[in-house]
Structure 1
């Protein structure tokens, strides 16, 4: 097993000064929160499901330790360099300096929270954790504004000389291994304030707190050498991480799609959100992402959800990355006098889990818009060609605990449910005369196994794939899912295979349409 990295947790926005004291009362800034409800679906009834919280699960599933000892910072300082366990969890308690309840025990005087100052202190804290554990890098796990704090560290602080010494700091890529964000407004937050929303915003953010999520303010704390008040140049996009600062492929963004569970603010942000962060603003460009039908926080929130945790665990500790792209897409010509809008729904599930890992559905306002994707990607054959459908990170089956008794866990299995349907527009309005609600034009499930066949001397990974409509009997009893593995083609360090789309969908997606599965080692 590869060397582990310590995990540093970053909480989200605590609210106006009046709320900071309450938030700092939590020893773990919310990472310890669990849940006892799980959603069946957008309109489903919640049922009992006990999720003990990501902190306890990281300890029980991955053997991590929580080393507080009364004061985690003082504890670290008291230890010899390299003596602290790498498999450890830490909380950057950046709000403590803004609390009024600690007196002089934490800070000489109460401060007003400042994101850049918090990022400066995060740099020092990460350096301390690295020194005491001997780990080259840390993982950063962040909720909401915490993801912007992490990006401020990576994109600005690490690329700015230390004002205390004048010495350059270490680049973010040398400090941070992976960044995982839950519901972070990478593209900012925009409100259409009116009525009771004004009162809610003032209570939640304070008189100027929401400015943290305004593009101009984000430009200042995400860009080296820029001060508050400077306007972002035309074309600057807040949800991009410069390649020279950090590799976006080392970033994973969980995107919430359930606005209804977040209350009044949903009316300000709109239904295409987690209740606070718009879907289109919740991820970094070129980063991995998962769409989860959860709200920004609260009882049905992203952080205290099984879905969020399983994506976190697999991204941090997975051995394989499997990416699915739709190639050769060629949609039918538009009939005369009408416009057809083609959409696809995707749902990703992994064997052994009680929840769906990723789902883009029309009911959640986030289907894949095939017309737009076709225009953007076409049928390109290059590495960037094809319509991206989903990315899964898979644990080594031997490492994964919870497999079925009596079966050697040689393979990881995931399924990709695909549904294709269309809407008709006439004279700028949807035309329902020929419409069958919730009935797709085509639907099937691709089942993929990744791992070893089972021969003891066999090395390396293989993949087996089959459409569910072609598998006789129970899929649970067919393992691997196909008699022969896929023909894998080497592409640098990656392996890929192409699976033709079933004949029944080719009149819609094109005669050359196929799914490309790319399997990569990931660490």
Structure 2
């Protein structure tokens, strides 16, 4: 079913910035982009993306039609004027929580409080559910908007209902763009600024500090004093909300974030989107994707094709695909000082952008660790979770749907010697992979009680162009865990990788209908 979508924007800060946000009828969700960084010259190249709002209004969904948006002078006035269940659930709504804090409507601005915004979000979602007849809504949030949503899930609804597990009765899923789930931290030379921010609450920015996050993420009956030792703001549990219904999009481009003349990127460091550090931008144990986009602006993650493709597939995709690297046995010994890193890059057939990318150049490779004493050597290395839609199958030159959903996962294994926290480059070739190949995966959706089928081959084993390869002419990968509606198979790593990853290394792929 297509649930209503509620968009929750990010932090504005000063009254002037709040006024600018309020002047936009769609709070920025309508802003597209014409810039993208590609190629080796480092220059901005033209790429026109019309905005996530327009794309949702254009693209068809599972019942064949696009989403719609109703304003008619004011969303809530329109909702109030309609009867129960008279509005199409397949609609988009904007949580205009900053309106009361603007100075442009001839009244004294109300001081912004994130708890108030979360409570207002509950009121809006209740009204939308009543007038559309939908059981739940999708929440789509940028930056601080994700914290408003989490305050709703983790504090407001539990306080209202007296139960910590009721948020899923209201919300189908939560998608966050560049949300500082674990706060906004500063690099060592700027730690004093963080303390000043949290103490003085300049422009309300203390909401990104640990103590303030404890207040708006924790119900009153559990909030006795300050946060306990070891508490992390990004913590969520399946009891509070199903973690597999949360998706976190993480930006990795700090260089192209223009806020405050680049000061922000210097304060938080290069391992960030220019404002939020990469490791703070997701909730642990939830699906996520990394894209080389900045926090906002002309290269921002919200107004990007990469962001939209991940959003759309998470909201409407009917298959979840999980990929893990299993049975790895690294060469050498634990004391040889070699650091092993894996880069991943995911492409989906018919999509013109990379939908997921983790690389050393973007400060977010996957670290392959040797098992700690007592740990199993069989512990898998999670590579990614993505979503596919059988309704968006590309067509061939004759206009006929292609028989499979195809994605390509590029893997690059790199290593460098490290001792005492210092890299040794005497035997190193920078950005030269010890192993590199691309796995081409084709998935044929099952029908009825028929499980999906999958085929996979390494690009190095293909004789011609990938576009000419027909996977269905070969035998599908055996289902290693036969179960109706679910498929899991293993693909051996190429022989050339065995001296690095071990002869038993495989990629385990799990396809689950949603």
Q: Above 0.5 in TM-score?
A: yes
Tell me what 1:486 maps to: 477
How far apart are 1:405 and its partner, in Å?
4.0
Q: 1:514 aligns with which of 484, 489, 506?
A: 506
Aligned to 1:222: 217
1:95 and 2:98 correspond: yes
Aligned pairs for 1:343-358 (under 5 A) are: 343-358=341-356
1:192 and 1:436 map into 2 onto residues whose CA distance is 29
CA shift digits 1:257-284 (9 cap, x unpaired): 0000112211000000000000000000
1:183 to 174, 178, 183: 178
Contact 2:404 2:444 in 1 (8 A): yes
Aligned partners of 1:330 and 1:374 also within 8 Å: no
Match of 2:296 in 1: 297
Contact preservation (8 Å) 1:373, 1:387? no
User: CA–CA distance in 2 between the matches of 1:93 and 1:190?
Assistant: 27
SS in 2 for 1:418: strand
Q: Does 1:387 align with 2:381?
A: yes
Pairwise CA distance, 1:489: 2.9
Matched, 1:142 2:141: yes
Superposition map of 1:194-273 within 5 A: 207=202, 209-225=204-220, 230-262=225-257, 263-273=262-272
How big is the shift at 1:216?
A: 1.3
Return the match for 1:468 from 459, 467, 471.
459
1:42–1:364 CA contact under 8 A, matched in 2? no
Tell me the equivalent position of 2:330: 331
Distance 1:484 1:113, change over 3 A: same
2: CA distance, partners of 1:508 / 1:9: 46
Query: What SS does the aligned partner of 2:369 have?
Result: helix
Cα deviation code 1:139-192 (max 9, x no counterpart): 000000000000000111110127xxxx88992101110100000000000124
Provide closer, same or farther for how the CA distance between residues 169 and 236 of structure 1 changes in structure 2, counting only shifts above 3 A. closer
Provide the residue aligned with 2:117 in structure 1: 118
Question: In 1, are the aligned partners of 2:342 and 2:411 still within 8 Å (CA)?
Answer: yes
Match of 1:74 among 73, 77, 80: 77
Whether the 8 Å contact between 1:42 and 1:293 is mirrored in structure 2 is no
The number of residue pairs the alignment matches comes to: 501
Rounded Cα–Cα distance in structure 2 between residues aligned with 1:16 and 1:229 = 31
RMSD: 2.7
Match of 2:432 in 1: 439
Matching residue of 1:18? 16
Question: Is contact 2:452–2:487 with CA below 8 Å preserved after alignment?
Answer: no
Which of 419, 431, 452 lines up with 2:412 in the alignment?
Answer: 419
Tell me: CA distance 1:246–1:478, structure 2 relative to 1, closer, same or farther (3 Å). same
Aligned partner of 1:498 among 490, 495, 509: 490
The 1:362–1:234 alpha-carbon spacing in structure 2 relative to 1, beyond 3 Å, is: same
| Displacement after TM superposition at 1:488 (Å) | 1.2
Shift of 1:37: 1.2
- If the length of structure 2 is used for normalisation, what is the TM-score? 0.91
Matched, 1:477 2:468: yes
Structure 1 counterpart of 2:63 = none
Gaps of 5+ in 2: 61-65
- Report if the CA contact (8 A) 1:42-1:363 is conserved: no
Aligned partners of 1:224, 1:472: CA distance in 2, in Å? 60
Matches within 5 A, 1:150-169: 150-161=149-160
Distance 1:115 1:227 in 2: 19
Distance in 2, Cα, partners of 1:36 & 1:22: 21
Residue 374 of structure 1 and its aligned partner are, at CA, apart by: 7.8
Shift of 1:43: 6.5
Deviation readout 1:18-57 (Å, 9 max, x if unpaired): 3211110010000000001122168633211110000000
Moved more, 229-238 or 290-299: 229-238
CA distance in 2, matches of 1:169, 1:86: 27
TM-score using structure 1 length: 0.90
**Which runs of 5 or more structure 1 residues have no equivalent in the other structure?**
none
